Each structure stands twice: as structure tokens, then as C-alpha cells.
Chains A and B, each alone.
Chain A
């Protein structure tokens, strides 16, 4: 890599640990083109999206990454152009004949460094797709570029670490089964103290109707989300369980490699089958919801289980839940993967309105929401400077809402990114957490 990249890159030994291998520099170009050709033949989106841009520039002012970093290569069309120029050179007639006149460029020593730098500053939030007159989706182009990079053995160490944890333990945090059992026990004790009720968090319970897939962070830092879910299931009298084999709603494969996504997705199916579930409920995780809802069938064929998001499930059962409204003024950050990529738009609003006294909208919201800046797994500590810039637009939005007591951020990546960014700006006047956290706190139990 000739140019300096903003993140730590996985070393050959680390790659080997997750079944990837490093490609020597002399072979990189040929392999990259080979992988690109495979993607081209197996996915319509790559071809059409790379061949359709008219360079009108409408996406520039709609991208929080460009607005925050003010780096030309983070302007969605320019970012896509990093891949598009190479694609045109090797895969189109016009590109082969007219070269740079029509914007086709061969591979050079900076190409991969630029890909690694800038495709890992795209949050795959799909906001540009919403404003592109042709619906060119930079998220799609970013996914492809990251896939090509990973096939060459080029990926951030952060991604490698998560893939390794997933491989060894079945979750991103690397929590082994005994620790999962301990945490579940601890949370049960806490709820007993709080409510006086015997509320269970069943792990690996056979013959369960519902398989709940939490984000592994809900067992660590976002415990209140997990408590909210457990309390809700308790009130509804649901027969549910959590699988220790896949204690993870997230699917980082979607964020760097299709085959990893596929194998991860297969775990989901396997766990549902092993525990006899009829319905899989995905926890508060943005891209994980997209990966489960939109990619499951394509990855592994028939999926003979129901599949809903926890917020969909909760919103559908609201009439069976009683709440004591919390005296809070709450606003909601719409995770991009819920709204634009996953169709969970009105449910969180419905739930929050039932749980608290005052709900205010952020502007813009719903399918026009801005990303928190952590989307697509850009949570590397070493990229903190860039993460702050990516989160700038969100901070402005949050400040524009005025005084609030609680900021609902129902996605694990948002829960990791937004507090860090707000802290940097010295904004610590309110609490933050998921939507299910509110459910847990407002729920009234019939004793």
C-alpha cells in the first residue's frame, strides 16, 4: 500500500486466522479484475449502477460523509468513481477505446489504497440512492468494493477481529457460552430485584416458539435493551429463547465479504432449526436487520421460519402491554438500515409514543434520516477523527431538536457511535439508548 490509510490493516497471520489470505502486490491487479468479473456476472446491480451515473452532482449535498469531511473523494459520485473508472477501463468497449476521455482509468499503485481509505468512509446509509434520479446506490458499490478488497486480503483489522470472534464464539464481542449464562443470570437477578418477579432470559432452551437474536452488545454495554425485551416477552407470556451459537444480530459479512455474510446467515437458520423455533425476532441492530430481512433468502435459499424485527413485534403487540408513561421528552434517531433499507419506519414512533409523555421528531427524519456516522462498521478507535466528522451532521440535527431528556437510538452501531461523538462535543445533558429500553422502564406488570 503506497498511500497512508486511516485504519490498521489486518496482517497476513491475522487473515489466515479467519480463512483469508494475502495476495502479493504483483497479483493484486489480476485478482481484483477477476473478482470484479465474478461480481459483474452474478449481480445486476454492479453493472447497472456503475454504468448509469450522469455526474449531475445531486448526491454531493445529501451525503453526511462529504458534508462532514469535505473530502472530495467522499462525495458519493466521486467515491463510486474510484471503482467506476477501473470498471470502465476493463469491462466496457468505450472505456477500452477512449480511455481517460470518457473517464476510464487502469489500475495503478494508489488504486487499492484509495479504495481502502474511502470505501471505509462510506456508511452504506443509502441516502444518496434516495436522491439520485437514477437510484444509483453507493452503498451497493461500497459493498462490492469492500468485497473485492477482502478477497485480495485487504481489510481493516477491526473487521478481522470481529470475524474472528464470530468464528470462535458466534458473536462479535467474543463472549463464550459460560459468560453468556452468567450475564443472563445477572440480568435475571437484577430484574428480580427491580420488579420482584421471576423474569427469565432463557438461553438455548429447546422447543421455544420464538428465537430472539440480540446484539451481543446488549449483553455488555446496552443491558437495558435486553432487559426491556425480556420484560416484554414475560408480560406477553411468550415461549422464547436466545441461542448461544449466534448471540449476534449484526452480520459484519455484509460489511466486507459476501461469503462471510452467507456463513453467518447460515448460523441463524441452524439455530432456529436446532431450538425448534417458528419465529425469529431480530434485536436492535441496523445493518443486521437488513442482512437478515433482505439477504437471507438470497444467501441460503428457503427460510422456513417467520422473521420480524423486535420493534415490529413489539408494535404489533402494543394493545396487550400496559405502560406508565415516563415523564420524558424523547426524540428518535432513525437508523438508516431500519428506514431506507429495512422498512421499519413507523413502529418505533408508535412504541415511543405509548411509553413517554412527549415525543418530538428530528428533522429530517424517516427515510430522509442522516446516518450517525458509524454505519457499516466504521467504529475503529484509530479512525476517531474521521468518525467525528462523519457524525457532524447528526450532532447538528440533535442540537436542532432543543431540550430533550432521552435520545432513542435503536441500533447497536448508533449506540456505539453517537454517545462518543456527543461526548466529544460536550453534549451530555440527556440519556441515550434503545427503544426497547423505554419499553422495559415504562411497562406495568400485573402481579
Chain B
């Protein structure tokens, strides 16, 4: 079992995750946009288009305009998740010594790294709980929700809880061993997975999430960019330039 979870499952996950993502985005981009769906007021230039999409990604402005409470918790959830993901990559790679690069002592760096990770973990946990509660508390959202909507939240919660378990309990997690294991996976020379049940659970849950990711609503990040791309397309100018003469975009 551990051999499967440690040596085989991660590769299935990576393959499905990458091909699934690429496949779906390519199918989207391959289908034509016969009509400009510009939602005015629209940016006039390419830079403006990038800026408007970028600003929406950073600020969640549409939610801010609509529902400030939803905005707060959705923003906190995504923000803390981003901190956690970056923290995992940097923290594990440098063994929590990432802040020595800006002049901190190794001890201070580890402490800051832990502090940031714990804060982000707690914020993420709380915001997921609030989003879960919200789904059950608002009538129309409750009626709209399918089992999978709760499932996704529970899966994320399980990942956060198992991760925080390693942080907040007196378990002695050997970060060096985890790093060696992950490096083995990424360099295609896998070594046995560290026999810490909580790490194995955390790691397996993440694998399940990534496996399911390309087929689920979790894919909304990609949908966001493609959709916004259509809504910010430059409106046509008449007379139509002769360079575009010929075929109609829609037949």
C-alpha cells in the first residue's frame, strides 16, 4: 500500500493533472469565438486588457461590488492558499531557511517561516469553514449546491487539518526526509515515502485533490482567464478592415 501511495499514485496524479489541464484549456481555445462578447466599459488596448484581468485576479473586485462578506472570506481563502502553496515550495526546498536570503539568522528564518505557515493555515481553515457554513445558511446557495460542492470544501479542509496537525502537535516531522522523498519523485528516482502516517495522509489527500482538479469546478481559475479574455475583447470597428475580408466568423 505504501509503495502504491508513495511510488505510483503521485505519478498517476501528475500525469492526469497536467494532461487534464492542458487538454481542457486546448479544447476551449480551439473552439472559435464568432462574436465579440465585450462587456462594456472595456479596455481599449492589450495592456489595458491584461491590467483589467490582473486587477480582478488580485482584488476580486466583482465580489467586492456584490457581496462584501463573500468577498472577504473568498479573498482570505485564496490569499492564504497562495501563501501556503508558495510556502510549501520555498520552505521545503530551503528547509525553512528561506529568510536567511534577506539576512535573517537560521533560527529567526525558521521561526518566521513557521509563524507565516501557521497563520496562513488558520486563516485558510477559518475561511473554508465560513464558506462551508455559508453554503448551508443562504437559501438559494444551499438549493444550488450539489454534494460535490461540499465534497470539495471537505477535501480542502481535510488537507488543511492534516497539514496543521503536523505543525501544531508535538509530532517530530523530519522535513529533511520529506524533502529527499519529494526530490526523488520529481527527479524520477523515487525513494520510500517517510513512514509518518499523518504525512502519508496529507500527501495522499493532496494527490486526490490534484487528480480531481482538472475535471471539477476547481478549474475555475482557468475558466476565469478564458472567460475574461472574451469579455474584454476589443469591439469591432466599422467599416471592417479589408485585411479581415472574406470569411464570416460564424457559419
- Give the interface of A toward B (CB within 8 A): 40-45, 47-49, 51-62, 66, 72, 75, 77-78, 81, 92-94, 98, 100-103, 126, 129-137, 140, 258, 262, 280, 293-308, 339-343, 345, 367
Contact = CB atoms under 8 A, between A and B. Distances in A.
Given A61-B67, A93-B215, A129-B39, A135 B239 contact: no
Nearest to B151: A101
A56 B238 contact: no
Scoring B35, B39, B63, B224 by chain A CB atoms within 10 A of each residue's CB, the highest score goes to B35
B219 interface: yes
A304 B237 CA distance: 11
Given A51-B223, A307-B239, 19 more contacts: A42-B34, A43-B32, A44-B28, A44-B33, A44-B226, A45-B37, A48-B28, A48-B227, A53-B217, A57-B141, A132-B62, A133-B224, A134-B227, A137-B37, A258-B250, A297-B249, A298-B249, A340-B40, A341-B40
A305 B239 contact: yes
A55 to B, nearest CB: 5
Contacts of A342: 40
Contacts of A98: 148
B220 A134 contact: yes
B103 interface: no
B129 to A, nearest CB: 16
Contact of A49 (B227, B238, B251): B227
17 contacts: A40-B31, A48-B227, A58-B67, A59-B66, A72-B143, A78-B140, A81-B144, A92-B215, A98-B148, A101-B147, A101-B148, A103-B146, A293-B235, A299-B250, A302-B242, A302-B244, A307-B238
Given A81-B144, A293-B236, A58 B31 contact: no
Interface of B: 24, 27-29, 31-42, 56, 60, 62-63, 65-67, 70, 74, 138, 140-141, 143-149, 151, 215-217, 219-220, 223-224, 226-228, 230-231, 235-236, 238-240, 242, 244-251
A75 B248 contact: no
A66 to B, nearest CB: 8
Among B29, B227, B230, B240, residue most surrounded by chain A Cβ atoms (within 10 Å): B227
Contacts of B251: 42
A135 B235 contact: no
A92 B67 CA distance: 31
Nearest to A51: B223
Contacts of A102: 146-148, 216
A79 B24 CA distance: 24
A126 B41 CA distance: 13
A133 B62 contact: yes
B27 A47 contact: yes
Q: Give the top 5 A-B pairs by smallest Cβ distance, nearest first.
A: A52-B223, A103-B146, A57-B141, A307-B238, A301-B248
